[in-house]
Amino acid sequence: YLVQGLTHCSTCHTPRNALMAEIGKRSLGGGDVGGWYAPNITSDTQDGIGQWSSDEIVAYMRQGHVPGKGSSAGPMAEAIDHSLRHLSEADLRAIATYLQSTPPISEGSNQPTFSWGQAGDQLASIRGVAWPRDMNAMTGAQLYDAYCASCHQAQGQGSTDGKLPPLFHNSSLGHTNTNNLVLSILQGVPRHGRDSIMPAFGHELSDQQVTTLSNYLLQNYGRPDA
C-alpha cells in the first residue's frame, strides 16, 4: 500500500516504454525522471539495494544519506524533504521490509554500486604546475582542487557525519548511468527548501569542464567503466 500507493515509488523507479507506460516486469528496476536516474531499488544484491540493511534504508528515507552507501539528490531529495522524512518509524520500516522482499532485477553488474572506488589523493600532481590559459584545458585534478576538495576533502573522504558525502563507496558514482553525477554538479543538491552546501556549478563550469571533472571523479573514486 505504501510503496505502490501513497509513496508511488514505481512512478520514478520503474522504466517506461515508448508510450510512457511502466514496464511491469521491471518494476522498481530503475527509471528516468527529469534527466535524473531513479536507481534500481529491488532486492538485487549487485544493482539494487539487496545489501542494504533495514536500518540503512530507513535512515536514507529519513535523512537522505547513508555513509558508505549513497546520498540523495534531485527528485529523490525532494521526495525525502517533502514526504518520506515525515512518515512514522513504522511506515518507514514497512517500506524497507517491502523493498527487501521485491523480486531482484539485475543489470549485469559484478559488484554492488556502492562498493566502487577508494580514497585517493591526486592533488600532489598539480602542486607547482601553472594553470592553463584556457580554462577548458584544466585537468580533472585541477578542477577537483578548485571546486570539490574544500568540501569533499583531498582524498574524497567527505565529512565524518556524512553530510558532506564521501565520493568513493557512493552509489552515485557506482552506476553505469552517470546522469546523477553530472546533474549534481550542474544543479547542486538543495535540502529542506534551502540551498545546501552542495552548490550548483552549471553557471561556472563549461560543458568541457563538467565532462573532464566527471571523468576524473569516476576514474579516481567511482566506476571507471561508466
pLDDT tens digits for range 186-217 = 999 876 655 457 899 999 999 999 999 999 99
The per-residue pLDDT for range 136-152, each reduced to its tens digit, is: 999 999 999 999 999 99
- CA-nearest of 86, 158, 148, 96 to 123 is 148
The per-residue pLDDT for range 18-44, each reduced to its tens digit, is: 999 999 999 999 999 999 999 999 999
Mean pLDDT over 108-116 rounds to 93
Mean pLDDT over 61-88 rounds to 91
Within 8 A by CB and 6+ apart from 130, the residues are none
Separation between Cα atoms, residue 21 and residue 54, nearest integer Å = 30
Mean pLDDT over 96-119 rounds to 94
Look over the chain and give the mean of its residue pLDDT values, rounded to a whole number. 91
The per-residue pLDDT for range 2-18, each reduced to its tens digit, is: 887 667 899 999 999 99
pLDDT at residue 112, as a whole number = 95
pLDDT class of 116 with cuts at 50, 70, 90: very high
Statement: residue 163 has pLDDT above 90: no
pLDDT at residue 194, as a whole number = 53
Backbone angles phi, psi at 195, to 5 degrees: -65, 140
Separation between Cα atoms, residue 130 and residue 137, nearest integer Å = 12
Bigger pLDDT: 56 vs 131: 56
Q: What architecture is the 114-221 domain classified under in CATH?
A: Orthogonal Bundle (1.10)
pTM of the model: 0.89
207-221 vs 140-147: helix crossing angle, rounded to 10:
100
Statement: residue 124 has pLDDT above 90: no
DSSP 192-208: TTEEEEE---TTTS-HH
pLDDT at residue 39, as a whole number = 96
Query: What residues does each domain of the chain span?
Result: 2-110, 114-221
| CB-based burial label for 169 (10 Å; 0-12, 13-18, 19+) | buried
Q: Cell triple for residue 196?
A: 545546501
- CA-nearest of 148, 149, 151 to 159 is 151
The per-residue pLDDT for range 43-72, each reduced to its tens digit, is: 999 999 999 999 999 999 999 889 889 889
pLDDT at residue 214, as a whole number = 98
> Is residue 89 a contact partner of residue 58, using CB atoms and an 8 Å limit?
yes
Separation between Cα atoms, residue 105 and residue 36, nearest integer Å = 20
Q: Where are the alpha helices (DSSP H) in the chain?
A: 10-13, 54-63, 74-82, 89-100, 140-147, 149-152, 179-187, 207-221
> Is residue 107 a contact partner of residue 15, using CB atoms and an 8 Å limit?
no
